[in-house]
Amino acid sequence: MRTLLLGANGQVGFELARSLAPLGELVCASRDGKMPGGAACLAADLGSPASLAAALDSTQADVIVNAAAYTAVDRAEDEPQLAQRINARALAEIGAWAASNNALVVHYSTDYVFDGSGTKPCREIDAVAPLGVYGASKLAGEIALRDSGCDHLILRTAWVYAARGHNFLRTMLRLARDRDELRIVADQHGAPTPARLISAATAAVLAQRMGGREMKPGTYHLCAAGQCTWFDFAGAIFARAQAAGLIERVPRLVPIATADYPTPARRPAYSVLDCSRIRDAFGLRLPTWQAGLDAVIGELAG
């Protein structure tokens, strides 16, 4: 199996590059043609139709795993055309190529396709209603991929973080060294999900496909088990980080409402995803968000 990994230098892509390597030939690609650390890889810019087409044609992959995306949620409000190009139109092009070449596309989407107005974990069949440009562009990408007619898996995830890259955990650890007090939103609910969990689950699903297991294309939710608020998550990060020697002291945490921390883009208040479908379909065991955090803190502590 030849796999093309798009967005291989992102926090999810970095983990995928490790988890997918044992499954066969793996071609890593990033927008600038570089991997973390500076090693060269294939250049594939989803913002450029010519660059993307060249990467697809040159690789002739059996599986395309798309971990590339426009993820600047607030900046997207001012750059809707760019977000739409990368998150939606590029998916139509990937899907069309895959349909013509009998390839499977694995694509990652987001909890931001929901408006967060519910109080129960969102299912794949629940109504979507994005609140901003980012969520709308990701939803458009899902639709484009489905409409292409290609064999596909859309994996919606949320609150992604890792030991590297730009994410909430790393921001909290940085701020803990400089500030005595942090005001953290306490009325948004989700499930913090490590990039390594996403990559491991993806590899497990693809390994089953290689083994001949019939795989039903479609949309699946993929997150850590359980739920918390950003305030809860911050407290758990600091407790574990201090115990692991990553920070000397824990700043005082003050819970605030979303309204007290205005941002250009609106966030879903409740974006917990129901992951029972992917568990049942592929027999996956999804660890709790606390266990995932323990693993990432352990990685940072060395």
Q: What is the mean pLDDT of residues 148-155?
A: 97
Does residue 177 belong to any structural domain of this protein?
A: no
- Six-digit token string for 138: 């990701």
Residue written as token pair 């609106």: 266
135-145 pLDDT, tens digit each: 999 999 999 99
Of 271, 226, 289, whose CA–CA distance to 119 is shortest?
271
Query: According to the model, what pLDDT value does residue 216 have?
Result: 80
Q: Kindly report, residue by residue over 67-123, the tens digit of the pLDDT.
A: 999 999 999 999 999 999 999 999 999 999 999 999 999 999 999 999 999 999 999
Average pLDDT over residues 276-297: 96
Mean pLDDT over residues 272-297, rounded? 96
* Residue-level pLDDT at 36: 87
Give the CA distances from residue 23 to residues 39, 161, 210, 213, in Å, rounded to whole numbers and listed in that order: 21, 24, 8, 15
The CATH number given to whatever domain includes residue 72 is 3.40.50.720
Tell me how many domains the chain contains. Answer: 1
161: confidence class by pLDDT, cuts 50, 70, 90: very high
40, part of any domain: yes
Please state the rounded mean pLDDT for residues 33-51: 94
The backbone region for 212, taken as left when phi is positive above 0, alpha when psi lies in -120 to 50, beta otherwise, is left
Q: What is the pLDDT of residue 144?
A: 98
Rounded CA-CA distance 149/18 in Å is 29
pLDDT at 197 over 80: yes
d(CA 145, CA 143): 5
Work out the average pLDDT over 182-208.
97
Tell me the average pLDDT across 26-39.
Answer: 93
Confidence tier at 210 by pLDDT (50, 70, 90): confident
Q: How confident is the model at residue 147 (pLDDT cuts 50, 70, 90)?
A: very high
Domain for residue 235, yes or no?
A: no
Report the distance separating Cα 302 and Cα 297, nearest Å: 9
In a domain, 83, yes or no: yes
How confident is residue 228, by pLDDT bands cut at 50, 70 and 90? very high
pLDDT beyond 80 at 213? no
Q: According to the model, what pLDDT value does residue 217 have?
A: 85
Instruction: Count the helices and strands in the chain (H runs, E runs).
Output: 10, 13
Domain carrying residue 213: 2-167+193-223+272-286
In the chain, what percentage of residues exceed pLDDT 90?
94
Specify if 112 maps to a domain: yes
In a domain, 41, yes or no: yes
Query: Is residue 95 a contact partner of residue 147, using CB atoms and an 8 Å limit?
Result: yes
Q: What is the mean pLDDT of the chain?
A: 96
- Per-residue model confidence (pLDDT) at position 79: 97
- Which amino acid makes up residue 119? T
Taking the C-alpha atoms of residue 161 and residue 174, their distance in angstroms, rounded to an integer, is 14
In a domain, 201, yes or no: yes
Question: Which residues are catalytic, by number?
Answer: 134
CA distance 69 to 45: 10
**Per-residue pLDDT, 254:** 98
The CA-to-CA distance between both ends of the chain, in Å, stands at 33
Q: Is the pLDDT of residue 267 over 80?
A: yes
Quick one: tokens of 267? 């966030």
How high is the pLDDT of residue 37?
Answer: 85
The band of 168, judged by pLDDT with boundaries at 50, 70 and 90, is: very high
Quote the pLDDT of residue 214: 76
pLDDT of residue 242: 96
Q: What's the pLDDT score for residue 97? A: 98
Q: Which residues contact 92 (CB under 8 A, 6 or more apart)?
A: 144, 145, 147, 148
The pLDDT value recorded for residue 211 is 80
Residue 246 belongs to a domain: no
C-alpha–C-alpha distance, residues 261 and 258, integer Å: 5
